[in-house]
Amino acid sequence: MGNLMDWFYGQIVGFLGNFFAIMGNMGVELFELSWVQSVVTFFSQLGWALFAVSMVVSCFECAIEYSTGRGNIQQTAVNILKGFMAVSLFSTVPVRLYELSVNLQGKFSAEITGLGTSIADVGKQIIEDFAAVTSLSDMTGAPDFILSMLTSPIMLIFCIIAMGYAVIKVFFSNLKRGGILLIQIAVGSLYMFSVPRGYTEGFIQWIKQVIGLCLTAFLQATILVAGLMAFRQHLLLGLGLMLSAGEVPRIAGTFGLDTTTRANIMSAVYTAQAAVNTTKVVAAALK
């Protein structure tokens, strides 16, 4: 009976992990819609336009500095190469990285929970367990966690509330992740003016945010599923793992992988303002 309960519980938790993987794939499928592709194409073209303007400005700045003996043609060429790589990849690599993290999360959840294990495999395990029994004391081992919770209604209510809170928090986090990635791609186009000129701090922060988003997509659902599996044998340990899944974005932000878009958007706005002002100055100088 314990083997059957373990199998049934693992299939339920595995379904939940697969459900989160399907939600993550919905975020990936968002970029297959025609209007979303049009939006991405628009910001990609905007990035190329800013890159072209920035390349011209960078050449003018290098020429001005070279006339004073401080110019560095090699460094200018390296910065332009960095900008070319950035503008070529900023609209495609985040989507592929997010797709990889979602697929890994689905596979890890299936391996942890044993999703897809047939009832025949459970029967083989039961026969092996019966073959290993040598006395009646072996069959009356540890009590089942469900029976121990039923003796304490308060503990049962607390566990249900904690589990519901952890699952709902991860659910809503997965629900909005595809839209956040689209916003990050749109904001990333504004950094294409500063990268060829050697100002890469804002773009590096943008890269960290994309990595933090993908890392959160993988870790949150995986830790939640691991907590649900541990809950079967270790009540408080499982609850702790489930509640810690909601803290993944905050911990990632502590190490510089902030998944919010507030600071990124403000930095990009300042970059866009600098691009407009610099373009006006260059246009006035050419006149």
pLDDT band at 139 (very low <50, low <70, confident <90, very high): very low
pLDDT for residue 143: 47
pLDDT at 45: 92
Residues of the chain above pLDDT 70, percent: 71
Full-model pTM: 0.74
State the pLDDT at residue 264.
Answer: 54
Which carries the bigger pLDDT value, residue 123 or residue 24? 24
pLDDT higher at 126 or 229: 229
In terms of pLDDT, which residue wins out, 66 or 282?
66
SS3 of the chain: CHHHHHHHHHHHHHHHHHHHHHHHHHHHHHHHCHHHHHHHHHHHHHHHHHHHHHHHHHHHHHHHHHHCCCCCHHHHHHHHHHHHHHHHHCCCHHHHHHHHHHHHHHHHHHHHHCCCCCHHHHHHHHHHHHHHCCCHHHHCCCCCHHHHHHCCHHHHHHHHHHHHHHHHHHHHHHHCHHHHHHHHHHHHHHHHHCHHHCCCHHHHHHHHHHHHHHHHHHHHHHHHHHHHHHHCCCHHHHHHHHHHHHHHHHHHHHCCCCCCCHHHHHHHHHHHHHHHHHHHHHHHHHC
Higher pLDDT, 125 or 58: 58
The least confident of 128-132, 206-210, 241-245 is 128-132
Mean pLDDT of all residues in 80-109: 89
Indicate the range of 59-63, 107-111, 218-222, 264-268 predicted with least confidence.
Answer: 264-268
pLDDT at 221: 84
pLDDT tens digits for 140-171? Answer: 444 444 444 445 677 778 778 888 888 888 88
Question: Could you report the per-residue pLDDT of 33-45, keeping only the tens digit for each?
Answer: 898 899 999 999 9
84 has a pLDDT exceeding 60:
yes
Of 87 and 268, the structure prediction assigns the larger pLDDT to: 87
Residue 13 or 221, more confident: 221
Phi-psi region of 218 (alpha: psi -120 to 50; beta: other; left: phi over 0): alpha
What confidence tens digit (pLDDT) does each residue in 169-198 have? Answer: 888 888 888 888 888 898 888 888 888 888
Please enumerate in sequence order all residues whose Cβ is within 8 A of that of 139, keeping only pairs 6 or more positions apart, or say none.
133
Residue 38 pLDDT: 92
Number of other CB atoms surrounding residue 108 within 10 Å: 18
What is the Cα–Cα distance from 150 to 234, expressed in whole angstroms?
Answer: 15
Q: How confident is the model at residue 48 (pLDDT cuts 50, 70, 90)?
A: very high
The average confidence (pLDDT) of the chain is: 76
